[in-house]
Amino acid sequence: MSQTTVLHVGGLHWATSEHAIESILSRREGVEAVEANAANQSATVTYDPDRTSVAELAEWVRECGYHCAGRSVPMHVCEPMDEDPVPEAARAHAHHADQARHPAAHVDATHAGHTAVTTATTAAEHSPHEMMGHGGHGGMSMDDMVRDMRNRFVVAALMTVGIALWSPMGRDMLGFTAPAPFGLRDDVFALLLSLPVVFYSAWIFFDGAYRALRNRTLDMMVLVAVAVAAGWLYSVGITLTGGGEVFYEAAAMLTAFVLLGHWFEMRARGGANEAVRALMDLAPPMATVVRDGEPVEVPTADVLVGDLVLIRPGGKVPVDGTVEDGTSEVDESMVTGESLPVAKTPGSTVIGASINTTGTLRVRATKVGSDTALAQIVALVQQAQNSKAPGQRLADRAAFWLVLVALFGGLLTFAVWLLSGASVETALLFAITVV
């Protein structure tokens, strides 16, 4: 019987890169359907558990060049997948926990745009950035990604102004007459100004194009990267061979405008993601568990099925369970929408993330990790966000063919002009114009 899970996909910061994840995973054995969503950096995967597993799915995502910590559920609810070797004692403790914990609780996930957190055993040894890797935007929060995109755009915009002023466009159309500094030719000065644009601002396009080509697919990152690289490399060649008509301003302007669009997209994405983030923040990070008759405070991820949890007045219920001792009223409005507190007596069920208001309760944990009601709600919300309308699927396929047609058109133009007797420089010039 098919199962559906939501995987965290760190580094999926372009909507145009969703197709790469969907394409590579859909070709894997046991995967029936994939819907990726850059808005919350996750992918909904329907798979056959008899032929593959969540761990294999996560590994395949990492093979695509992205970061994956496993299922995308509240960070306080489950402990992360261990990717690094752990000490023998920690492994023994994990094995003991495996006996009592639901298998699904092994796989953690992080909320969208945020890095994975480590278990109590490994948290002190590995930073979130180390756990998630260093490529692209992996390890960055959504706020950091927006800030990084803004910085790239600002650099590109400032350099583009200078490049445009000392270009034929600035000279002829704007009447700019100031000579280039240090006695340099205009094209040489434009080359120097274009270096931070290409090797900082536009580098993220080359990274996205590399990931797409590595996964044998085409997306808009490939088209932008080819356009910027072709225009810039052609101009560098002209500059180094004595000067002529160059396109530094075109490459810089294209970079700046595309970055501006992605900056706005990321800002909007952060707002759309607040709902899921707020849901995930409902889970309390710590829980008080009664062990050997003494209350012990432990991370919520370490609570096992069958543990006796002590919940004092004003505290949040860490996991789903059944009241064994005590009476109180519990505010379940954040989960059920019911504004009035619900009376709880021995035998009553309580929902994780609800708030105990009046009395002290002792609750026997019945559902932990990704089995809790909160984790299920988050998964359903993310699945809804990741689902695509038929029109959007058609647009994704059209983007692939658009890139293919543009690249083929550029190659065809180059070949036709070359065969017609034009110089390589002229043929390359028209090919770049087409792309």
Assess whether 146 and 247 both reside in one domain.
yes
pLDDT at 122 exceeding the cut of 50: no
Question: If you compute the radius of gyration of the chain from its CA atoms, what whole number of angstroms results?
Answer: 27
Assess whether 291 and 254 both reside in one domain.
no
Assess whether 211 and 188 both reside in one domain.
yes
d(CA 383, CA 237): 49
Backbone angles phi, psi at 328, to 5 degrees: -170, 180
Tell me the mean pLDDT in the region 316-342: 90
Mapping DSSP onto H, E and C, the string for the chain reads: CCEEEEEECECCCCHHHHHHHHHHHHCCCCEEEEEEECCCCEEEEEECCCCCCHHHHHHHHHHCCCECCCECCCCCCCCCCCCCCCCHHHHHHHHHHHHHCCHHHHCCCCCCCCCCCCCCCCCCCCCHHHHHCCCCCCCCCHHHHHHHHHHHHHHHHHHHHHHHHCCHHHHHCCCCCCCCHHHCCHHHHHHHHHHHHHHHHCHHHHHHHHHHHHCCCCCHHHHHHHHHHHHHHHHHHHHHCCCCCCCHHHHHHHHHHHHHHHHHHHHHHHHHCHHHHHHHCCCCCEEEEEECCEEEEEEHHHCCCCCEEEECCCCECCCEEEEEECCEEEECHHHHCCCCCEEECCCCEECCCCEECCCCEEEEEEECHHHCHHHHHHHHHHHHHHCCCHHHHHHHHHHHHHHHHHHHHHHHHHHHHHHCCCCHHHHHHHHHHHC
Q: With pLDDT > 90 as the criterion, what percentage of the chain qualifies?
A: 28
Assess whether 7 and 132 both reside in one domain.
yes
Residue 400 lies in a domain: yes
Picking from 272, 306, 336, the residue at the C-terminal end of a domain is 272
Residue 280 lies in a domain: no
Assess whether 183 and 244 both reside in one domain.
yes
Residue 282's pLDDT is: 83
Assess whether 130 and 177 both reside in one domain.
no
- Give me the CATH number covering residue 316: 2.70.150.10
Assess whether 410 and 295 both reside in one domain.
no
CA-to-CA separations, 386 to 22, 53, 58, 406, in angstroms, rounded: 12, 20, 17, 29
Confidence of residue 1 (pLDDT cuts 50, 70, 90): confident
d(CA 71, CA 80): 9
Residue 87 lies in a domain: yes
pLDDT at 137 exceeding the cut of 60: no
Residue 317's pLDDT is: 93
Residue 159 lies in a domain: yes
pLDDT digits (tens, 9 = 90+) for 176-220: 888 889 888 988 999 999 999 999 999 999 988 888 888 777 878
Assess whether 55 and 20 both reside in one domain.
yes
Assess whether 133 and 151 both reside in one domain.
no
Residue 277 lies in a domain: no
Assess whether 13 and 101 both reside in one domain.
yes
Q: Which residues contact 240 (CB under 8 A, 6 or more apart)?
A: none
Picking from 233, 251, 272, the residue at the C-terminal end of a domain is 272
The answer to whether the CB of 2 falls within 8 A of the CB of 46 is yes
Confidence of residue 229 (pLDDT cuts 50, 70, 90): very high
Assess whether 132 and 146 both reside in one domain.
no
Residue 347 lies in a domain: yes
Number of domains the chain is built from: 4
d(CA 320, CA 307): 11
pTM, rounded to two decimals: 0.64
Residue 279 lies in a domain: no
Residue 410 tokens read as 């550029």
Confidence of residue 101 (pLDDT cuts 50, 70, 90): very low
- Give me the CATH number covering residue 31: 3.30.70.100
Residue 390 tokens read as 């038929």
Picking from 272, 296, 319, the residue at the C-terminal end of a domain is 272
Domain range enclosing 313: 285-368
Residue 22 lies in a domain: yes
Assess whether 256 and 359 both reside in one domain.
no
Other C-beta atoms closer than 10 Å to the C-beta of 31 total 20
